[in-house]
Amino acid sequence: MAVRAVRGAVQLERDEAGHMDEQVGALLTAVLERNELTTDDLISIWFTATPDLHSDFPAGAARRLGIVDVPLICAQELDVEGAMPRVVRVLAHIASDKPRADITHVYLGAAAALRKDIAQ
What pLDDT was estimated at residue 120? 53
64 annotated as ligand-binding: no
Distance (Å, rounded) from C-alpha 63 to C-alpha 11?
A: 20
pLDDT score recorded for residue 118: 64
CB atoms within 10 A of CB 105: 19
Q: Say what the pTM is.
A: 0.94
pLDDT at 113: 87
Hey, what domains does the chain have and what are their CATH numbers? 2-113 (3.30.1330.40)
The torsion defined by the Cα of 22, 23, 29 and 31, in degrees rounded to 10, comes to: -170
Annotated binding residue at 7?
yes
pLDDT tens over the chain, length 120 residues: 899 999 999 999 999 999 999 999 999 999 999 999 999 999 999 999 999 999 999 999 999 999 999 999 999 999 999 999 999 999 999 999 999 999 999 999 999 888 767 655
Q: Is 14 annotated as a binding residue?
A: no
Residues whose CB is less than 8 angstroms from the CB of residue 10 and which lie 6 or more positions away in sequence, other chains included:
23, 24, 26, 27, 87, 88, 107, 108, 109, 111
Beta partners for residue 92, in sequence order: 6, 45
Angle at the Cα of 32 from the Cα atoms of 9 and 102, rounded to 5 degrees: 85
